[in-house]
Amino acid sequence: MIIDKNLSNQLKVLNLISIMLVVCIHYGDNFDYKSFDTLNFVIQSSIKDGIARAAVPVFAMLSGFFLCLTWRSYIVTLKKRLHSLVIPYLICGCLFAILMCLYRMFIKHNMTWDDLRLPFFLYNALVYPPSQQFWFLRDLIITISISPLLLFILDRLILRILMLAILFLLWLFEIQPFPIYGWYLINIEFLFFYFIGLSLAKKPYLFTLIQNCRGRFLFFLIVILIFLILVRVRLYPTFDLWYIHNYNMFSLLLQKVIIFVGVIVLISLSRYMNNAHLLNFSQYSFFIYLFHHYPLIAVLQLVGEKIFGDFSFYINVPFSIILCVMFACLLRKILPNIYFFVNGGR
């Protein structure tokens, strides 16, 4: 399948929208709700725990999809990803680890000599960076390193079907088979949707079929999605499965349906996203992803909650995105080479 310019532009904007949804997740997760009965809670939770939860699966799916379409050889792929993923991960990981040390030393005053040891620093820089979103980049780097194995499975129909079935069941029932090194070595949700993306690249008409959902059917999916999100938020306001078990079987399956339908809706809506302004803005997508969280989130949440209280979410999310874009523009103008390396050559 050859990706034409129109489709490529649509997917770039879809990537931008998905990153904005990830920002919504992070700037809502640390909020201490005083009441689950307010309209404010319903709106915030519906965004960050509803449609936004489809963003990471969309990332994973597109990552697998484009890897398969652009595959030339293992060495070529590793070289490309070294510049686009590994170098930004290492630079930002070290930067955030240094900032965390300075924060603990001069603000929290809880730094110990053990914290300054090289193994501890390397762990925080390379294995478990302070910025939460880096789990996805780490998973992507690990998965790309085992891509020959995944492609071997992909090329054999029986193995591909078996792999999809196993990953689907593991994801559906939130069974994480991989060990934890800060985060799961590979998150099962990432691996499942990544492999779906690989599979769709083998049958590209299926991806086109998803994207071409329109009219009444798309409207029906959106209505169903909104209804399911509101039911989940109302019945299970404290639902959480991120390294904890704050759910029952019904709420878990409900959330999985929301994610799956949300992925279809986001991909379907991407055909309407070929907007020149959004496309121009999308060049900063990866930079926003890298820098929207730590340490910016600590400052914005502290200031935002003091000024705007329960409504700080609506200010912090767009403001963090704007600050990241402003920083990207400034860095690109003053230190273009640094910007190039940090942004993975984008």
pLDDT by position in tens, the chain (length 346) = 566 777 788 888 999 999 999 999 999 865 566 667 788 899 999 999 999 999 999 999 999 998 998 898 999 999 999 999 999 999 999 999 888 888 778 777 777 777 778 888 889 889 999 888 999 999 999 999 999 999 999 999 999 999 999 999 999 999 999 999 999 999 999 999 999 999 999 888 888 888 888 888 999 999 999 999 999 999 999 999 989 999 999 999 999 999 999 999 999 998 887 788 888 999 999 999 999 998 888 888 888 878 888 888 999 999 999 999 999 999 999 999 999 989 988 7
Length of the chain: 346
Angle of the 5-29 helix axis to the 312-334 helix axis, nearest 10: 130
Tokens of 144: 């790309």
- The pTM assigned to this predicted structure is 0.93
pLDDT at residue 262, rounded to an integer: 97
Strands 183-184 and 180-181: antiparallel
H helix and E strand count, the chain = 18, 2
Asked if residues 116 and 159 have their Cβ atoms less than 8 Å apart, the reply is: no
pLDDT at residue 222, rounded to an integer: 96
The count of other CB atoms within 10 Å of the CB of residue 112 is 9
Tell the residue number behind the tokens 């904007």, with chain if given.
Answer: 13
pLDDT at residue 175, rounded to an integer: 96
Separation CA 337–CA 325 (nearest Å): 17
pLDDT at residue 214, rounded to an integer: 82
Tell the residue number behind the tokens 């009441």, with chain if given.
Answer: 35
Residue 302 domain boundaries = 5-342
Number of domains in the chain: 1
CA 293 from centre of chain: 12
Separation CA 317–CA 30 (nearest Å): 13
Best CA proximity match to 127, nearest among 149, 142, 110, 107: 142
